[in-house]
Structure formats: C-alpha cells, structure tokens
Amino acid sequence: MKLAQFLKNELGRDWSADCISQTTEGALSKRTANNWYNGEKRPILDLVIDGLKYRQLLADSKTE
C-alpha cells in the first residue's frame, strides 16, 4: 500500500500527503511523511494521523 492509499483509508477520500503538509503547516512535508511511512518512524506517523482524526472530530462536533 502506498502512503496516499493509507491516508485515504485512515482519513477519508479528501486527504492526501499534500493535505497533511498544509494541515500541519509544513511541519510534516509529503517527503517526510513518505520517509516515516516507509521507515521505522511509522508509529509517529500513526500518532499524527490520530491527532488529525481527533481534530476533525472536534471540528465536526462544533458544526453540529
């Protein structure tokens, strides 16, 4: 599985590596995300994704 597929599975169809880079204000670039996904830092990427899921949940709950 590629990083883009992983992100779409975890975060939904609207998410991409570029989207994560924008959301994290460049702190996690597409290149860094790819390196983490393919290396030993993947657990950190999972934490970042969990944080993004949580942020999305908060945003969704505020709009309701």
**pLDDT recorded at residue 5:** 93
CB 17 within 8 A of CB 3: yes
**pLDDT recorded at residue 63:** 83
Specify the number of domains making up the chain. Answer: 1
51 pLDDT band, cuts 50/70/90, is: very high
The residue written with tokens 């702190």 in the block is: 27
What's the whole-model pTM score? 0.80
Domain span at residue 46? 3-61
Angstrom distance (rounded) from CA 50 to CA 35: 18
E-strand stretches of 1-64: none
| Eight-state DSSP code of residue 4 | H
**Mean pLDDT, the chain, integer:** 91
Angstrom distance (rounded) from CA 30 to CA 28: 7
What's the mean pLDDT in 11-32?
90
